[in-house]
Structure 1
Amino acid sequence: MWTVQDAKNKFSAVVDAALAGTPQEVTRRGKPAVVILSADEYHRLLEGAVSARMSFADHLMAFPGGEFARLEAKPRDVSF
Protein backbone atom coordinates (compact mmCIF):
# COMPACT_ATOMS: atom_id res chain seq x y z
CA MET A 1 0.00 0.00 0.00
CA TRP A 2 1.30 3.43 -0.98
CA THR A 3 0.60 6.90 0.32
CA VAL A 4 -0.20 9.49 -2.32
CA GLN A 5 3.14 11.18 -1.76
CA ASP A 6 5.10 7.91 -2.05
CA ALA A 7 3.12 6.92 -5.16
CA LYS A 8 3.91 10.30 -6.75
CA ASN A 9 7.60 9.98 -5.94
CA LYS A 10 7.87 6.39 -7.19
CA PHE A 11 5.20 6.36 -9.88
CA SER A 12 7.26 4.18 -12.25
CA ALA A 13 7.58 1.51 -9.54
CA VAL A 14 3.81 1.66 -8.91
CA VAL A 15 3.09 1.22 -12.62
CA ASP A 16 5.65 -1.58 -12.99
CA ALA A 17 4.11 -3.49 -10.07
CA ALA A 18 0.60 -3.06 -11.51
CA LEU A 19 1.79 -4.28 -14.92
CA ALA A 20 3.37 -7.30 -13.22
CA GLY A 21 -0.11 -8.31 -12.07
CA THR A 22 -0.28 -6.88 -8.56
CA PRO A 23 -2.86 -4.11 -8.15
CA GLN A 24 -1.41 -1.19 -6.16
CA GLU A 25 -3.48 0.48 -3.45
CA VAL A 26 -2.95 4.16 -2.72
CA THR A 27 -4.15 5.91 0.43
CA ARG A 28 -4.90 9.57 1.08
CA ARG A 29 -4.77 10.82 4.66
CA GLY A 30 -4.64 7.22 5.90
CA LYS A 31 -7.80 6.11 4.06
CA PRO A 32 -7.97 3.95 0.93
CA ALA A 33 -8.29 6.21 -2.11
CA VAL A 34 -7.57 4.37 -5.38
CA VAL A 35 -6.28 1.12 -6.82
CA ILE A 36 -3.93 1.13 -9.79
CA LEU A 37 -4.11 -1.91 -12.03
CA SER A 38 -3.03 -2.86 -15.51
CA ALA A 39 -5.18 -1.89 -18.47
CA ASP A 40 -5.63 -5.59 -19.35
CA GLU A 41 -6.96 -6.36 -15.87
CA TYR A 42 -9.25 -3.32 -15.98
CA HIS A 43 -10.75 -4.37 -19.32
CA ARG A 44 -11.18 -7.96 -18.11
CA LEU A 45 -13.10 -6.74 -15.05
CA LEU A 46 -15.15 -4.30 -17.11
CA GLU A 47 -16.08 -6.97 -19.67
CA GLY A 48 -17.21 -9.34 -16.93
CA ALA A 49 -19.36 -6.68 -15.27
CA VAL A 50 -21.01 -5.62 -18.52
CA SER A 51 -21.76 -9.18 -19.66
CA ALA A 52 -23.33 -10.06 -16.28
CA ARG A 53 -25.58 -6.99 -16.23
CA MET A 54 -29.25 -7.37 -17.18
CA SER A 55 -31.27 -4.71 -18.92
CA PHE A 56 -33.64 -2.72 -16.73
CA ALA A 57 -36.64 -4.40 -18.39
CA ASP A 58 -35.15 -7.87 -17.70
CA HIS A 59 -34.55 -6.83 -14.10
CA LEU A 60 -38.20 -5.85 -13.70
CA MET A 61 -39.42 -9.02 -15.38
CA ALA A 62 -37.29 -11.14 -13.03
CA PHE A 63 -39.20 -9.82 -10.01
CA PRO A 64 -40.93 -12.77 -8.35
CA GLY A 65 -44.59 -12.53 -9.22
CA GLY A 66 -47.59 -14.14 -7.68
CA GLU A 67 -50.23 -13.17 -5.22
CA PHE A 68 -49.37 -11.46 -2.00
CA ALA A 69 -51.50 -11.54 1.09
CA ARG A 70 -52.98 -8.10 1.62
CA LEU A 71 -54.10 -6.68 4.89
CA GLU A 72 -57.74 -5.83 5.25
CA ALA A 73 -57.42 -2.22 6.30
CA LYS A 74 -60.50 -0.25 7.24
CA PRO A 75 -60.65 3.52 7.54
CA ARG A 76 -60.68 4.87 11.07
CA ASP A 77 -63.61 6.76 12.49
CA VAL A 78 -63.14 10.50 12.46
CA SER A 79 -65.48 12.90 14.14
CA PHE A 80 -65.59 16.64 13.53
Structure 2
Amino acid sequence: MWTLQDAKNKFSTVVDAALAGTPQEVTRRGKPAVVVLSATEYHQLLKQAQSRRGSFTDHLLSYPGGDDSVERAHAAPRPVDF
Protein backbone atom coordinates (compact mmCIF):
# COMPACT_ATOMS: atom_id res chain seq x y z
CA MET A 1 0.00 0.00 0.00
CA TRP A 2 1.32 3.41 -0.98
CA THR A 3 0.72 6.83 0.48
CA LEU A 4 -0.31 9.38 -2.12
CA GLN A 5 2.98 11.24 -1.82
CA ASP A 6 5.05 8.05 -2.23
CA ALA A 7 2.93 6.96 -5.18
CA LYS A 8 3.50 10.34 -6.86
CA ASN A 9 7.23 10.16 -6.24
CA LYS A 10 7.52 6.60 -7.55
CA PHE A 11 4.70 6.50 -10.07
CA SER A 12 6.63 4.45 -12.64
CA THR A 13 7.24 1.79 -9.96
CA VAL A 14 3.52 1.78 -9.10
CA VAL A 15 2.64 1.38 -12.78
CA ASP A 16 5.24 -1.35 -13.33
CA ALA A 17 3.87 -3.34 -10.40
CA ALA A 18 0.30 -2.95 -11.67
CA LEU A 19 1.36 -4.09 -15.14
CA ALA A 20 3.06 -7.11 -13.57
CA GLY A 21 -0.34 -8.18 -12.21
CA THR A 22 -0.34 -6.74 -8.70
CA PRO A 23 -2.90 -3.96 -8.20
CA GLN A 24 -1.45 -1.09 -6.17
CA GLU A 25 -3.50 0.52 -3.42
CA VAL A 26 -2.96 4.20 -2.66
CA THR A 27 -4.08 5.97 0.49
CA ARG A 28 -4.85 9.64 1.10
CA ARG A 29 -4.62 10.96 4.64
CA GLY A 30 -4.40 7.37 5.90
CA LYS A 31 -7.61 6.20 4.22
CA PRO A 32 -7.88 3.98 1.12
CA ALA A 33 -8.32 6.22 -1.93
CA VAL A 34 -7.62 4.46 -5.24
CA VAL A 35 -6.29 1.27 -6.78
CA VAL A 36 -3.95 1.31 -9.77
CA LEU A 37 -4.33 -1.73 -11.98
CA SER A 38 -3.43 -2.64 -15.53
CA ALA A 39 -5.75 -1.62 -18.35
CA THR A 40 -6.16 -5.28 -19.28
CA GLU A 41 -7.33 -6.19 -15.79
CA TYR A 42 -9.65 -3.17 -15.68
CA HIS A 43 -11.29 -4.15 -18.98
CA GLN A 44 -11.72 -7.74 -17.78
CA LEU A 45 -13.44 -6.53 -14.61
CA LEU A 46 -15.64 -4.18 -16.62
CA LYS A 47 -16.61 -6.94 -19.05
CA GLN A 48 -17.48 -9.31 -16.18
CA ALA A 49 -19.63 -6.68 -14.49
CA GLN A 50 -21.47 -5.87 -17.70
CA SER A 51 -22.13 -9.54 -18.48
CA ARG A 52 -23.75 -10.06 -15.06
CA ARG A 53 -25.96 -7.00 -15.38
CA GLY A 54 -29.27 -7.33 -17.20
CA SER A 55 -30.75 -4.62 -19.34
CA PHE A 56 -32.70 -1.74 -17.83
CA THR A 57 -35.81 -2.96 -19.66
CA ASP A 58 -35.48 -6.39 -18.04
CA HIS A 59 -35.10 -4.70 -14.66
CA LEU A 60 -38.30 -2.69 -15.15
CA LEU A 61 -40.25 -5.69 -16.44
CA SER A 62 -39.22 -7.78 -13.44
CA TYR A 63 -41.03 -5.42 -11.06
CA PRO A 64 -43.89 -7.33 -9.39
CA GLY A 65 -46.26 -4.36 -9.50
CA GLY A 66 -49.08 -5.99 -11.49
CA ASP A 67 -50.57 -7.84 -8.52
CA ASP A 68 -51.47 -4.71 -6.51
CA SER A 69 -48.87 -5.60 -3.88
CA VAL A 70 -48.02 -1.92 -3.45
CA GLU A 71 -50.76 0.29 -2.10
CA ARG A 72 -50.69 3.72 -3.65
CA ALA A 73 -51.60 6.92 -1.86
CA HIS A 74 -54.83 8.62 -2.89
CA ALA A 75 -54.04 12.28 -2.45
CA ALA A 76 -56.52 14.98 -3.39
CA PRO A 77 -55.17 18.08 -5.13
CA ARG A 78 -54.85 21.09 -2.89
CA PRO A 79 -56.92 24.18 -3.58
CA VAL A 80 -55.11 26.91 -5.46
CA ASP A 81 -56.26 30.56 -5.56
CA PHE A 82 -55.12 32.86 -8.35
- Name the structure 1 match of 2:80: none
Which sections of structure 1, spanning at least 5 residues, go unmatched?
Answer: 72-80
Q: Percent identity?
A: 73
- 1:20-57 deviation line (CA, Å, top 9, x unaligned): 11100000000111000000000000111112211111
Quick one: which amino acid aligns to residue 29 of structure 2? Answer: R
TM-score, with normalisation over the residues of structure 1?
0.76
Which sections of structure 2, spanning at least 5 residues, go unmatched?
Answer: 72-82
Q: Which has the larger radius of gyration?
A: 1
Q: How many residues align?
A: 71
TM-score, with normalisation over the residues of structure 2?
0.74
- Name the structure 2 match of 1:20: 20
State the Cα RMSD in Å: 1.9
- Name the structure 2 match of 1:34: 34
Alpha-carbon spacing, 1:19–1:34, altered in 2? closer, same or farther (3 Å): same
